[in-house]
Amino acid sequence: MKIKIELFGDARNFSDQDYLEITLPELSSIKEVRENLMDLVKNKYPDNKNYLEIVKCSAFANEHNEIVQEHYHLSTHTKLSIIPPVGGG
């Protein structure tokens, strides 16, 4: 299944667009999303350890604007946002 991930903050550097689309097996969870993104970053930016750290430290939110945990299961309709460490004000 294809999962769309909206990008924010430093994670915007992961794509020229505002989002990423990744393909995962059915019944995948946030754990697999994180692993997939870590592989993507390692391949695309092998010298940038900061990007890898961002993926490790980021939360993910679903289409209802709720932070979801590592075991949260995804469906074909799931739209995620990656939420890197925050710091407004």
Partner 1 sequence: MFYGKVIESSKGSLSLDKAQQFIASEKCGASLFFIGTVRNHNNNKNVTGITYDSHDAMVEKSFKEIFEEASKKLTIEHPAVYIEHAKGYIPLGGLSIIIAVAAKHRSQAYDLSRYIIEEIKKKTPIWKKEHYDDNQSKWLKGTPLIDPSS
Does residue number 31 form part of the binding site for partner 1 (CB under 8 A)? no
Does residue number 89 form part of the binding site for partner 1 (CB under 8 A)? yes
Q: Is the separation of the CB atoms in 19 and 7 below 8 Å?
A: yes
Query: Which of 62, 82, 73 has its CA nearest to residue 1?
Result: 73
Does residue number 25 form part of the binding site for partner 1 (CB under 8 A)? no
Count of C-beta atoms within a 10 Å radius of residue 41: 22
Interaxial angle between packed helices 30-44 and 49-57, expressed in degrees from 0 to 180 and rounded to the nearest 10: 170
Does residue number 8 form part of the binding site for partner 1 (CB under 8 A)? yes
Interface with partner 1 (CB under 8 A), residue from 4, 38, 52, 84: 84
Contact footprint for partner 1 (CB under 8 A)? 6, 8-10, 12, 56-59, 61, 65, 67, 81, 83-89
